[in-house]
Amino acid sequence: MTKLLTPALILMTSLALAQGPKLDGDYKAIEGKVVEWRRDIHQNPELSNREFNTAEKVAAHLRSLGIEVQTGVAHTGVVGVLKGNHPGKVVGLRADMDALPVTERNDLPFKSNVTAEFLGQEVGVMHACGHDTHVAILMGVAEVLSKNKNKIKGTVKFIFQPAEEGPPPGEEGGALLMVKEGVLKNPDVDAIFGLHINSQTPIGVIRYKSGGAMAAAQSFTINVKGKQSHGSQPWSGVDPILISAKIIDGLQTIISRETNLTNEAAVITVGKITSGVRFNIIPESAEMIGTIRTLDYDMRAHINKRMEEMVPTIARAYGGEATIEILNATDITYNEPKLVKQMLPTLKRVAGEANVQTEKARTGAEDFSYFQNEIPGFFISLGGMAAGTTESFPHHTPDFKIDDTGLLLGVRAMTEMSLDYLNK
């Protein structure tokens, strides 16, 4: 009898894993609500570090589910802790909540007409990056999981994050501040999952990249000092504009001649030069600001070191002086390869094998990376482009649009990644 039961039991267990946790009824019950929440949040967008009403809605929802809630984390962040019925590890799930200073341009019934003040200007406010969908998806995941505590071996921490797009100048915020305030501690989070909707990926599709998936963003400021003179007599001065041109040229050779671009992409961009007042004056100084994008920690270290060496050296070669300051803005969104491998069967089960696709690295940045600096994490792309269309608009633009029939897949992916991670 025992001999017969053992293989049967093994078969049942592997079938259960292959079939997933059987939550179809719960998903069906939540689908309409997720779309409703998303449209409500879309119509009422709030800028970074100003997500007051969004946070209130999230907190009220989590409380109604019996989830322990902490508010005011990193200004407006909301953290919910759901303990399963069985002891185990802790998984974190993150959704960012902020909108952008963009004026929405479409005829959707839930279009935003909200305006707000941003850096002293009155601007339109729009969920032009799709963070409204992230909030609604995670609210849905919280509802499904809170109804299935008996299936949870461990704890789920829901992290609703403010200011992913960056806090306003002079303020702290975003994932970095949440980490500083201890969001990954007490209970200590073992792994974290997050997703980003994508307006140019078809609904039903999940894309991912193992390793460096999105770039580290750094900003730099270069100050060049020359010697002012009459524009007709350059020999009596030192031209900071010419030195700036040589520096830009030199910096681009770090990318084109010194960086192994077959490993990962890397970018240096000078975005602004300020110098001079008049056509016939060689000015005293010049300032340049720009950005560095990297997908590999060693490549970033090399590029930074060479920029710091090259800038003052080039200036000296032409008789001037220059300094460079490099600041970290966002780290590498690094998907821990072991965790990716572990979670792929789950993604393939919820989306179907053909709908789980690898993607190339992106030189855009995402502050989810600050969580991944601390613990293993996996950040996926979720399709938001309507079926049968080829028309899609990029993120951060007034025409940006997401088809919310694809959101349930996000709920299923996050729910089942959590359960499979905790219960394996």
Residues designated as active site: 98, 164
Annotate 130-163 with b (16+ C-beta within 10 A) or e (fewer): bbbbbbbbbbbbbbbbbebeebbebbbbbbbbbb
Find the shortest distance in angstroms from Cβ 391 to Zn ion.
20
Residue of closest CB approach to Zn ion: 129
**Is residue 356 part of the contact set for Zn ion (CB under 5 A)?**
no
Looking at the DSSP assignment, which residues form a beta bridge with residue 233?
Answer: none
Distance CA 300, CA 175 (A): 21
Span interacting with Zn ion, options 124-132, 238-246, 325-333, 379-387, rule CB under 5 A? 124-132
Span interacting with Zn ion, options 23-31, 123-131, 139-147, 291-299, rule CB under 5 A? 123-131
**Nearest residue (CB) to Zn ion, 104 versus 416:** 104
**Nearest residue (CB) to Zn ion, 129 versus 254:** 129
Find the shortest distance in angstroms from Cβ 48 to Zn ion.
10
- Measured at the CA of 160, the angle between CA 151 and CA 399, to 5 degrees, comes to 115
**Is residue 402 part of the contact set for Zn ion (CB under 5 A)?**
no
Structure tokens at 100: 């952008």
**Nearest residue (CB) to Zn ion, 367 versus 420:** 367
Distance CA 34, CA 327 (A): 38
Looking at the DSSP assignment, which residues form a beta bridge with residue 290?
Answer: 220, 270
**Is residue 295 part of the contact set for Zn ion (CB under 5 A)?**
no
Find the shortest distance in angstroms from Cβ 395 to Zn ion.
5
Span interacting with Zn ion, options 14-22, 49-57, 125-133, 385-393, rule CB under 5 A? 125-133
Helix (H) / strand (E) containing 379 = strand 377-385
Find the shortest distance in angstroms from Cβ 329 to Zn ion.
13
What is the DSSP secondary structure assignment for residue 85, as one 8-state letter? S
Pairing of strands 266-275, 285-294: antiparallel
Span interacting with Zn ion, options 6-14, 65-73, 122-130, 337-345, rule CB under 5 A? 122-130
Considering only residues 23, 62, 129, 176, which one is a binding residue for Zn ion as defined by CB under 5 A?
A: 129
Q: What are phi and psi of 333, to 5 degrees?
A: -80, 95
Identify whether the C-beta of residue 57 lies closer than 8 Å to the C-beta of residue 41: yes
Structure tokens at 106: 């479409």
**Nearest residue (CB) to Zn ion, 129 versus 422:** 129
**Is residue 184 part of the contact set for Zn ion (CB under 5 A)?**
no
Find the shortest distance in angstroms from Cβ 197 to Zn ion.
8
**Nearest residue (CB) to Zn ion, 144 versus 382:** 382
Distance of CA 314 to the CA centre of its chain: 36
Query: Using CB under 5 A as the criterion, which residues of the chain lie in contact with Zn ion when the complex forms?
Result: 129
